[in-house]
Amino acid sequence: MASTETQPATTEPRPDDERATSAAATTAARETPAPGSDLAGLEAGLDALDTHATARPALGEALRHKVLPPVLAVVLVLALWQAAFALDLKPDYQLPGPLMVWDALAEEWYKGTILGVVWQSVSRGALGFGVALVAGTPLGLLVARVRPVRAAIGPILSGLQSLPSVAWVPAAIIWFGLTNATIYAVVLLGAVPSIANGLVAGVDRIDPLHLRAGKVIGARGLRGVRHVLLPAALPGYIAGLKQGWAFSWRSLMAAELIATSPELGVGLGRLLDTGRSYQDMPLVLGAILLILLVGIGIELLVFAPVERRVLRHRGLLR
């Protein structure tokens, strides 16, 4: 039966191993009376010795390590800005202080328009991103899995990523005029290649062993795509989605800034343009700040939690 020299590992768990042994030890205890328990006990001991329980850090510690540094960085930047303003390095109309920018934003807030402006842009960005998601996912899957398609459009797709989507604005205006279609066309041309490329990268990085294992258990064809290929490619896909959102948002701002028309409503890009035309530097900086905040906010509230969850489940996050 089981080798006796390793037996002490199970019968005398070291006190410092208590945390790791507890789960397996209960299994062993339950099965002790059964015949062949020698092996069961040995196995439970091995399992306990080889398993390392990982505890998530306490909330206080997490706050200190994750929240404090960025807050300090923001405070530092504001302090430097205020110092530059106080030293009059540039005239006020070129370099307003943080408080002047705050006042400009507060003024927009009291006019009651600012939420509408932000929502105009965010809803456009979200809709454009949604359509890009629906278009980019099958496209990425085709490029990743069908060899001729990959040879034909793979290089074009990755090339499109390096083309700034603002370059499409004049073309889109000629095609669609000053309409929402122009704005969405630019957003899609920016985001679809990112999402498709992300999925291609995700599929390329799948461990071939997982694909073979999927085939062996009978996950072939569409079932293989659904149960093995897509979940295996998920980390790369999510990275692609994050980038896709960043590209949507950038393209949207470029489009709103250039394609201005009363019929298009006022988004953040338009607010920026208004500030420029009135030489209103506090408003311009305020609009830039809002664009930045929305971009960071969506990243932190939507993509970061999903990504962390996926990576933690796979043991890819410490």
Residues that bind other proteins (CB under 8 A): 1-3, 6, 23, 26-27, 30-31, 36, 39-40, 42-44, 46-47, 49-51, 54, 209-210, 212-213, 215-219, 223, 227-228, 231-232, 234, 310, 313-315
Distance from CA of residue 31 to its chain's centroid? 46
Q: Which two tokens stand for residue 235?
A: 């980390």
CB of 20 vs other proteins, minimal distance in Å: 10
Nearest to other proteins of 111, 210 (CB atom): 210
- State the minimum distance, in angstroms, from the CB of residue 247 to other proteins: 26
Structure tokens at 309: 């969850």
User: CA dihedral defined by 145, 147, 151, 156, rounded to 10 degrees?
Assistant: -20
Our CB check for other proteins shows the closer of 3 and 11 to be: 3
- Report how far residue 83's alpha carbon sits from residue 86's, in angstroms, rounded to the nearest whole number: 5
Q: Which C-beta is closer to other proteins: that of 2 or that of 126? A: 2
In whole angstroms, the minimum distance from the beta carbon of 133 to other proteins comes to 20
- Closest approach of Cβ 294 to other proteins, in Å? 31
CB of 198 to other proteins, least distance (A): 17
Q: Which of 20, 132 has the CB closer to other proteins?
A: 20
Least distance to other proteins, CB of residue 15, Å: 21
Render 163-225 in DSSP notation, one character per residue.
S-GGGHHHHHHHHH-SSHHHHHHHHHHHHHHHHHHHHHHHHHTS-HHHHHHHHHTT--HHHHI
- Looking at beta carbons only, is 28 or 186 nearer to other proteins? 28
Buried-state track 43-74, b at ≥16 Cβ within 10 A, e below 16: bbbebbbeeeeeeeeeeeeeeeeeeeeeeeee
For residue 109, give both structure tokens. 């807030």
Burial 182-215 (b: 16+ CB within 10 A, else e): bbbbbbbbbbbbbbbbbbbbbbeebeeeebeebe
- The smaller minimum CB distance to other proteins, of residues 60 and 218, is found at 218
